[in-house]
Structure 1
Amino acid sequence: MGSTPQARTRSRTDADRHGNVVPLRRLGTGQSLSPIRQAEAYWTAMGGPGAIPRRSDLDPRGLGNILDQTLLLERIAPGLARVRLAGRVLHGLAGMDLRGMPMTALFDARSRAGFSDVLRSVFDGPGSAHLSLAVGAARCGDRQSAGMALLPLRDNAGAVSRALGVLVVDGDRDALPPCRLTITGTQITDLAARPEVDPSRRRSLRLVAARPD
């Protein structure tokens, strides 16, 4: 994950000081956070150090200005997940409403097996995944770079069967015609070795954009 143990400790301390509201600015270095860093910070704040949060902990208001770039996946089989919720950026890439469709529909044929392996790592590990991507197809003109993060979530039974995702596309997203994603790099972080915290001690947190001091 992008957050260090010190950063996670700092985010919890700030939550205690600000009534369980975590200002985004205080979770980073004082500069604007990328959408992926925002999602990672919120994911960490939901579960607390060492914990994988539950889907029921997720409050869309906590994702604020990155909702257009987020998605929620549900595991339906080993290596397969369908889209439960998706923002405008993902619908624009696909040229259709993705809800209910397998996430592999967004990837070109040569990357689908690799993405299935990523999903196995996220759900079975469990683990977090960072993907470097290229966006394009023959009819799309110039290819653009993109990045994706997938962060595991537990269901009400405690199984890791959901994932919070964020997709960031460089350039003018609104100008993209229906395109497909190609995986150019993958980084998996194994979360299984992290000690779990007592779920009863977790707090309901949400992230908000910081106001100027």
Structure 2
Amino acid sequence: MTSGWNGSPSDGPPPYPGGMIAAVRAYWEALRDGDSLPRRAQVDPRGIANALENTFLIERVAPGIARFRIAGLLYNDLMGMDIRGMPLSCLFLGPARDSLQTDLEHLFSTPAALSLTLVAERRLGRLPLRARLQILPMLDRSDACTLALGCIETLGEIGRVPCRFGIAEARLTPLGAAAASNAAPIAAPRPPRAVAGVPHLRLVKA
């Protein structure tokens, strides 16, 4: 089941265990024409039916800030509420949000693919939980890079909600000169702050 996507998801298992990020990336790549970015209008939810619960669409609303336009039910499970309309940063602990803002602005302005390794906040009543998150830029109706398709895979039990994450590793991969012509205007982001107790590796070039 999903929240907000048009079309009916499949009741079958994922393409392979833990392969939802790879499936969404493969679908996104298949929509590209050379180095160009996919357009939102090209996305057919049936193409990623087995990953819809883990998938989301965000829209850039300000430098380094993006809000959920569509979100699979896993994100509601993580937060204990419907997160459509909320900022992507709601999934992150306070110290990680500056880093996320910097990374998102690079994603839209370069443009670049963003891969994050996440560690959930540890507290009473919650077992260890890790996650991988991938965000891929897309074009809006005006052919501007203001949208992004994302997918998360979790390892462990969600436990008590809301469940928020720190960033253990961030990797930005630029997507080529042709795609850069559609990039959002560059704005100077605030310098990131380290997450206490969580190592943070930042690679901004492939």
TM-score greater than 0.5 by the shorter chain: yes
Distance 1:57 1:76 in 2: 21
Provide Cα deviations, 1:132-185, integer angstroms capped at 9, x if missing partner: 001234245232110000000001111000000001101245x45321011000
Pair 1:160-2:170 in alignment = no
1:210 is matched with none
After superposition, where does 1:66-145 map in structure 2 within 5 Å? 66-145=51-130
Pair 1:189-2:173 in alignment = yes
Amino acid at match of 1:46: L
Amino acid at match of 1:37: A
Distance 1:51 1:120 in 2: 19
2:8 is matched with none
Structure 1 position 50, deviation (Å)? 1.6
Residues 115 and 135, structure 2, Cα contact 8 Å, conserved in 1: yes
Structure 2 SS opposite 1:113: helix
Structure 1 position 42, deviation (Å)? 0.3
Same amino acid, percent of matched pairs: 35
Residues 137 and 180, structure 1, Cα contact 8 Å, conserved in 2: no
Distance 1:123 1:172 in 2: 32
Structure 1 position 33, deviation (Å)? 6.9
Residues 126 and 160, structure 2, Cα contact 8 Å, conserved in 1: no
TM-score, normalising length from structure 1? 0.73
2:27 is matched with 42
Distance 2:160 2:77 in 1: 7
The count of aligned residue pairs is: 167
Distance 1:90 1:140 in 2: 19
Structure 1 SS opposite 2:141: coil
TM-score, normalising length from structure 2? 0.75
Distance 1:194 1:103 in 2: 27
Pair 1:53-2:38 in alignment = yes
Bigger relative contact order (CA 8 A; separation at least 6): 1
The 3 A distance-change label for structure 1 pair 92 and 71 is same
Q: Greater CA radius of gyration, 1 or 2?
A: 1
Query: For the aligned residues, what is the CA RMSD?
Result: 2.0
Distance 2:99 2:56 in 1: 19
Unaligned runs of 5+ in 2: 1-13, 181-206
Structure 1 segments (4+ residues) deviating >6 Å: none
Distance 1:38 1:194 in 2: 24
Provide Cα deviations, 1:52-87, integer angstroms capped at 9, x if missing partner: 100111111111111000010000000000000111
Distance 1:98 1:110 in 2: 20
Distance 1:100 1:170 in 2: 26
Residues 137 and 179, structure 1, Cα contact 8 Å, conserved in 2: no
